[in-house]
Amino acid sequence: MNFKFLKPFITLAIAVSVQLSAQTDVPKYSYTEAFKPFFYQNNATETRSASGQPGHKYWQNSADYILNATLNDSKNEISGSSEIIYTNNSYDDLSFLWLQLDQNLFKKDSRGNAVVPLAGNRNGAHGQEFDGGYTIKSIEILSSNGKKLNINPTYTISDTRMQIDLPQDLKAKGGVIKFVINYSFVSPNYGSDRMGVEATKNGKIFTIAQWFPRMCVYDDQMGWNTLPYLGAGEFYLEYGDVTANLTVPANHFVVASGELLNPKEVYSNDQNKKWEQARNSEKTVLIRSAAEVNAAAKTSATTKTWKFKIENTRDFAWASSSAFILDAAKINLPSGKKSLAISAYPVESDGNDSWGRSTEYTKAAIEHYSKKWYEYTYPTAVNVAGNEGGMEYPGIVFCHMDSKGADLWGVTDHEFGHNWFPMIVGSNERLYAWMDEGLNTFINDISGKEFNKGEYHTAKSLQMMAPAFNNDNMEPIMTAPDNLKERNLGFLGYYKPAAGMQMLRENILGEERFDKGLREYIKRWAFKHPTPNDFFRTMENVAGEELNWFWRGWFLNKWKIDQAVKSAKYVNGDFTNGVVIKIENIGQLPMPVNIDIKFKDGTTQNVKLPVEIWKRTSEWSFEVPTTKEIVTVQLDPKGSLPDANPTDNILKMESGIAETITLSDYIGTYSSKQIPLKIALKQEGKKLMAQADGQNAFPLEYDGGGKFSFTMAGIELEFAKDKKSFILLQGGQKFTFTKD
């Protein structure tokens, strides 16, 4: 799913209030606690290696589906049958099966509805009154362990799960059972922001997901994984092949996971020619235009059946509408294979500033991730405009029809990034949101830098996120999505784990070792079920680095990063003899050290120190040979760490020449033509204070040369010589303000 990063001034607004609470009663750094051994509680097993690889007897069960469904567009109802071929590759005989009935979330008495707060949230059906949930019409076991049966078994439905009792045990190490479930359900208009029905002037858009009974995962960690679907936690699914026959009104067009098997039956000759053109085109080819959509019939008394197939998949989703504009372009893959980027959207979303660029975005995202991490495995990648903020499925994603420009690029890139986490790397989303959302958010930033030379990319300083990351009201990253405060999910599922990956890549391992480790992790666990330890062990083994101090602090606990410059003294009081710098690790989580030493002549010297300096002490002194007078010593000069208290990260050396300023020269109200914001500057005592519209005032420190700063939020103000305007710098962005 999709959460947006906080805008710079929203971050500023929370910086003061949250920063203060984050600093109360900070636990003292303990090097023995940070670096204590025995992080991994379980040694190697036959199924999982100590190196992070699948073990020599790793197994997982599989589930193939033959799905038949009919859409009643007037009732928003899906009626269908799901034939499931389930293979038990475990070492256990199974006397019953568990399945997920996710549509039951939308029953009035569901557990998921019971935990929706009075204020509402994105989960559930937003108060829609309708008869939600599955109607299970029949279940029949066709065969088991190689024998035909034709038995109607007993079954029990418990909220979003169903247990089927087997007439005979499903044998271990290869037992196969085939059974069919006949069912129906009414789709919610807004299905927990993951599926739904959206009305447009040319007909409804149906985005259909969690629409058939799916096997629960039986694994070597928990046996049956049967956590209920409450809305916040996503999914954990077995892999297999899916064939789907989807019967819809004849005026509808259907897009879905996988390959369309009968294009000649559902498209015109002219449209099929355009599809062939698109398969060989770098540029977007229009298959069905806005004019065709507007001129087409809005209703139909007849139906068409669309047939799709996708292999080695954890799920299947689809969309159907008479309102779809369709376009497509070729996707180039590193092996020389091709895939096809497809977009389906209504006329309301048409235009080059909107969904007209969707296929371009889809193609760019898939090609980038395929080249950088692991090759895309499906024949198509479909972007559908619906009423979801953004939701991902194998080979198809749903993004909001009103998204455009940077927002559409961001949500498209994010949802297709999910094809790697968790579509290829099949982690347990119900328990570990960070293993898909966090890793995906991290790779999205790299993708954004590359797309069209960074057309939509904005550099984000992790220091700007420090107030939120260090808020004492946050749970640890490892907390399950259903077990944390709803307002914290964006930070703990997405941004904080992504920040952890960024720090690993930029501050700890370096790009080469990190990228090699992540590629190996994807390769090892492609279409398998890794746990957090499998990721941790793989990164350590590939990079050759002890990282348990980082996993323990950033993921299992909510330890703060807080480094400080204690002092800087010239050797024998003479700067030509060099300088001795003392630094301190105050926060519980140690990190490597990056220091800039700025000299009076305008030059800078950078010093890097490894995390091992903190293995036996909380303070460290080191000498820097230099013959020049120092102006400042600054830790983490680029704001690449979310330091809990950045005010002690910089030490200003005393100089023989003092610059005097008159604060009253800077007082006034300043406006910008770039953003709708006013900033008032006023003097309080010996401080210049700044206050943006509707926000708390904050103090500015004078840095010399007409420059002021508020290091806590990474803000700098550079005044013109006449003091009638200034440039505000924050997070790599610049805004010009002029005195009113």
Long-range contacts (CB closer than 8 Å, 24 or more residues apart) made by 13-16: 13/692, 13/694, 13/695, 13/696, 14/467, 14/468, 15/467, 15/698, 15/712, 15/713, 16/696, 16/698, 16/712
pLDDT digits (tens, 9 = 90+) for 52-108: 999 999 999 999 999 999 999 999 999 999 999 999 999 999 999 999 999 999 999
Is it the case that residue 730 has pLDDT exceeding 90?
Answer: no
Q: What is the mean pLDDT of residues 109-113?
A: 93
Instruction: Show the domains of the chain with their CATH numbers.
Output: 36-55+459-555 (1.10.390.10), 63-186+209-238 (2.60.40), 248-423 (3.30.2010.30), 563-652 (2.60.40.10), 663-739 (2.40.128.50)
Indicate the range of 44-58, 301-315, 544-558, 685-699 predicted with least confidence: 685-699
Which pair of tokens denotes residue 709?
């700063």
The per-residue pLDDT for range 514-560, each reduced to its tens digit, is 999 999 999 999 999 999 999 999 999 999 999 999 999 999 999 99
pLDDT level of residue 3 (50, 70, 90 thresholds)? low
In the 8-state DSSP scheme, what is residue 349? Answer: G
β-pairing, 240-249 vs 62-72, is parallel
User: Dihedral of the CA atoms 300, 305, 310, 311 (nearest 10)?
Assistant: 160
pLDDT given for residue 15 in this prediction: 39
| pLDDT tens digit sequence for 335-349 | 999 999 999 999 999
Cβ neighbours of residue 198 closer than 8 Å, sequence gap 6 or more = 189, 204, 205, 207, 386, 387, 401
pLDDT of residue 14: 34
> Residue 18 above 70 pLDDT?
no
* Lowest-confidence segment of 77-91, 165-179, 262-276, 677-691 by average pLDDT: 677-691
Most confident of 125-134, 368-377, 569-578: 368-377
**Residues present in the chain in total:** 740
* DSSP secondary structure of 463-530: GGGHHHHT-TTPPPTTS-GGGS-GGGHIIIIIIHHHHHHHHIIIIIS-HHHHHHHHHHHHHHHTTS--
Per-residue pLDDT band for 7 (boundaries 50, 70, 90) equals: very low
Query: What percentage of the chain reaches a pLDDT higher than 70?
Result: 95
CA 459 from chain centre, in angstroms, equals 17
Task: Report the range of poorest mean pLDDT among 185-189, 232-236, 615-619, 728-732.
Answer: 728-732
* Mean local confidence (pLDDT), 383-412: 97
| Cβ atoms of 428 and 40 closer than 8 Å | no
* pLDDT > 50? residue 21: no
- Angle between the N-to-C axes of helices 437-450 and 358-372, in degrees from 0 to 180, rounded to the nearest 10: 110
Angle at 302 between CA 297 and CA 304, to 5 degrees: 95
CB 421, CB 435: distance < 8 Å: yes
**Model confidence band, residue 662 (pLDDT cutoffs 50, 70, 90):** confident
Span of 40-44, 502-506, 515-519 with lowest mean pLDDT: 40-44
The pTM score is 0.87
User: Which pLDDT score, from 0 to 100, does residue 287 have?
Assistant: 98
Whether the pLDDT of residue 365 is over 90: the answer is: yes
Q: Is the pLDDT of residue 16 over 60?
A: no
Amino acid (one-letter) located at 488: N
CA distance 328 to 319: 16
